[in-house]
Amino acid sequence: MKIYPSNQTLEFWSQNYFTDFDLFFVNNIPFKNEHASITSKDSFKESSSFDIKTNNLYEFWNLNDYNYVIQSTKGWFEQLECEIQEYIIKEQCRVNNPLFFKTNLITLNSWYQLSKPFKVQFFNDRIEEYQDNVVPLHLKVTLPDYLNSIVNTFPLHQGSNCLSTVLYAITEDLDILDQWIKEDSFLNTLNILGYTKSSEPSKKGDIIVYSNNKSIIHASYQVEDELFINKNGQTIFNPYKLITIVDLEKNWGMYNKHVYRQQH
């Protein structure tokens, strides 16, 4: 079975999906004397404009090669000469800008002029591209209300990741669920709450952590024998799901596995 966002979630996304500026990724600068900020590829990631929302909106990890980032205000692109617009559009197609959709380049200005059905189609198509919205029908488990409320739903905010999902599961703190939790914060919280590594097989209430030699890659919370509350990725297109140990190992089993258990 495939799952999709609720109407309420879609409405929230529609109103909050964009940042308050446009970004365009190009190899060359096709204009002079235009009021826009031009930053090199590496320098932009060190700027104040680069945060989790911007990162996820443009999916920087999927972009093909480019030299410059053009940052502009709402409506800037639309007032450019046609030749310059055409160059920028071709570049967005080439670099795999996710806002180049069905031969159209979506900008901050055009987004709020698009119809509701178009936006719904855009979001659902993005979800299909992630291929993370398939859930099994046969899984039956009784969960606490705070966990049951998120199963098979999509986050409202960009950044909610596997680590924030696990911390929500063990703290019931809804504010944590919306955060982009990083490794140091995750491990510090586990330590404060009395979770330590265990050499025993995992059981209900344990946390499974997958890591490489340098850092944590993924984490999931065990709710029953071989069943886990899980979120793949940090985008709004990655839902909260109930999955089996088989699916967990299929996606993350190539990494080193650790069991964290709370000491009472």
Query: What's the pLDDT tens digit per position in 230-258?
Result: 999 999 999 999 999 999 999 999 999 99
Confidence at residue 32, expressed as pLDDT on a 0 to 100 scale: 85
Up-side HSE of residue 27: CA atoms within 13 Å toward CB? 8
Write out the two tokens for 83. Answer: 């030749």
Q: Cα(194)–Cα(206) distance, rounded to whole angstroms?
A: 12
| Closest of 220, 230, 235 to residue 160, by C-alpha | 235
Q: Is the pTM of this model over 0.85?
A: yes
Residue 73, pLDDT > 90, answer yes
Looking at residues 174-190, what average pLDDT do you find?
96
pLDDT-derived band at 204 (thresholds 50, 70, 90) equals: very high
User: Helix or strand or coil: residue 235?
Assistant: coil
Query: Per-residue pLDDT for 137 more than 80?
Result: no
Q: What is the pLDDT of residue 235?
A: 97
CB 83 within 8 A of CB 42: no
Burial track 34-69 (b if 16+ CB lie within 10 A, e otherwise): eebebbeeeebeeeeebebbbbbbbebeebeebebb
pLDDT tens profile 117-128? 999 999 999 999
Q: What mean pLDDT is predicted for residues 148-153? A: 96
The reported pLDDT for the residue numbered 188 is 97
Q: Which residue would you say has higher pLDDT here, 31 or 66?
A: 66
Q: In the predicted model, what is the mean pLDDT of residues 204-231?
A: 96
Could you give the 3-state DSSP secondary structure of residue 24?
A: strand
Q: How many residues does the chain have?
A: 264
Residue 8 predicted with pLDDT over 80 = yes
Maximum C-alpha span of the chain: 68
d(CA 203, CA 163): 19
